[in-house]
Structure 1
Amino acid sequence: MIKLAKDNEWLFIDKSGLLINPNSKELKKSILNSNAYKFLENPHNFLDDLEKNKPIT
């Protein structure tokens, strides 16, 4: 995925609209801030926050 993006001069975009250069360091940072990662890290807290209508950041 990173090679394809580099070869075509593409950028990635996260849920906040932040543009991310196609390199593993920046992608890792974005993934660690993602809802998917938060769910995998602690599904109970993530779902509790959703149930309470707490904004997921």
Structure 2
Amino acid sequence: MAQSAVDPAVDPTALTCSLCLEELKEPVPLPCGHNYCGSCVRKHQGKSLGL
């Protein structure tokens, strides 16, 4: 039987950027533990994220 490429122990929302709501591209982990796309971090850098 073939194994799934997705680990069932991984939360699928952990692979999604909560700013653009797409799959993480160039993931950037922040000190708070959240991950965002590199381009989203650059776009929102210096702006309040409302977190």
The higher-RCO structure (CA 8 Å, 6+ apart) is 2
Structure 1 or 2: more helix by fraction: 1
Tell me the TM-score normalised to structure 2 length.
0.28
Structure 1 or 2: more strand by fraction: 2
Q: Please say which structure displays the higher CA radius of gyration.
A: 1
